[in-house]
């Protein structure tokens, strides 16, 4: 597990419980963002005694601490991914099969800087998601 995650939890006064550790390990091992229901299913498969509401609460807490990014793709479900140790990126999702691909680039960095200068907001983040049809579904 990434040391910065453990340190952030400790600083926030949060304990690293067995279910929380398992949840973080699931998110870290997932190559793409996953839903709370998928996290819950993997936890249950690993015989962790945790309910879906607790999964949502933990995801919300981890999001507040800046350890987890919510990814709202076009399918209407929120997905989650660990942000520590991963470069800032965006996603594209196929409307046909649901394939999600990481886009390891940020084409709006300059726009973010411009918006910050013009509005005097202290921008903490942004989201850019593409939808389309993958080569297999076209």
Task: Based on the fold, state whether residues 46 and 14 are members of the same structural domain.
Answer: yes
Average pLDDT over residues 96-118: 86
Residue 38 phi/psi, 5-degree rounding, is -70, -40
Stated pTM of the model? 0.74
Tally of domains in the chain: 2
Q: Tell me, what's the pLDDT at 102?
A: 82
Which residues form the domain of 38? 1-86
Task: Based on the fold, state whether residues 37 and 73 are members of the same structural domain.
Answer: yes
Residue 113 C-beta-side C-alpha neighbours within 13 Å = 5
Confidence of residue 37 (pLDDT cuts 50, 70, 90): very high
Task: Based on the fold, state whether residues 49 and 77 are members of the same structural domain.
Answer: yes
Task: Based on the fold, state whether residues 78 and 123 are members of the same structural domain.
Answer: no
């Amino acid at each position: 597990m990434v040391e910065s995650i453990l340190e952030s939890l400790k600083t926030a006064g949060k304990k690293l419980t067995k279910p929380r550790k398992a949840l973080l390990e699931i998110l870290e091992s997932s190559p793409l963002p996953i839903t709370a229901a998928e996290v819950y299913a993997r936890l249950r498969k690993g015989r962790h005694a945790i309910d879906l509401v607790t999964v949502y609460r933990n995801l919300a807490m981890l999001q507040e601490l800046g350890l987890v990014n919510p990814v709202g793709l076009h399918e209407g479900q929120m997905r989650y991914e660990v942000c520590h140790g991963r470069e800032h990126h965006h996603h594209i999702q196929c409307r046909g099969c649901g394939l999600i691909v990481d886009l390891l680039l940020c084409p709006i960095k300059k726009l973010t800087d411009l918006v910050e200068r013009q509005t005097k907001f202290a921008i903490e983040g942004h989201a850019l998601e593409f939808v389309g049809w993958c080569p297999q579904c076209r």
